[in-house]
Amino acid sequence: MYSALCLIFLLFLASSLQKDRDFYTFQVVNIRGKLVSLEKYRGSVSLVVNVASQCGYTEGHYKALQQLQRDLGPYHFNVLGFPCNQFGHQEPDTEREIDLFVRKQYGVTFPMFSKIAVTGIGANNVYKYLTESSNKEPDWNFWKYLVGPDGKVVNAWGPTVSVEEIRPHITEIVRKRILKKKDEL
C-alpha cells in the first residue's frame, strides 16, 4: 500500500513538473563547449533553427537569419542556431569549424550551439520539446521554431518556407513584447 502511494505521488510530481516545462527551462551546450541555460533568453522571442553548412538552403537561410538578428535582436529577439548532421550529412564539421565558417562566410552574430540530433531516439531534449509542443518534427535542415517570450512554441516551418515569409509573424510578436514591456514600466 505504501509503495503504491509513493508511486502515485511520484507520477503526479513528474507530470506536474512536465507541465511547467517550457523552452527556456532547458540547458544546452554552446558551440564553444560551455553549458548555457536557455533561461537567459526568457522574455525574448526566439527563432530556433537546425542549421547545416553544406545544404542547398544554407546560403539563403544564413543570410536571412543574420539579417533578422541584426534588425530585431538582441534585446527582444534572438535566432538560436543548432547545427545538425542528420539530414544528408550536410553538417560534417566540428563545432570549431562550423563556428569559424558561419562567422567568416555570413557574419553570424546570433548564438550557436553544439551539434545535436533533432529527431529520433537520440534527439536532444530541446528538440523533443519543440517537436512535441508543435506536433511538427524536422525532416530536413533549417526547420524553424518560433518560441514566444513565455517559452511556448508559437509556430514551426520547414526549410521551404523562407525567413522572409515568416518575418511578419516574428515582427508582430516582437512588437507586442516591446509594447507589453513599455506598459509594465
Catalytic positions: 55
Judged by phi (left if over 0) then psi (alpha if -120 to 50, else beta), residue 145 lies in beta
- Please say whether the beta carbons of 31 and 113 come within 8 A: yes
- Cα separation of 149 and 121, whole Å? 28
Element (DSSP H or E) covering residue 178: helix 163-184
- Cα separation of 20 and 29, whole Å? 22
Provide the greatest CA pair distance for the chain. 64
Per the structure block, which three cell numbers stand in for 100?
569559424
- Please say whether the beta carbons of 163 and 62 come within 8 A: no
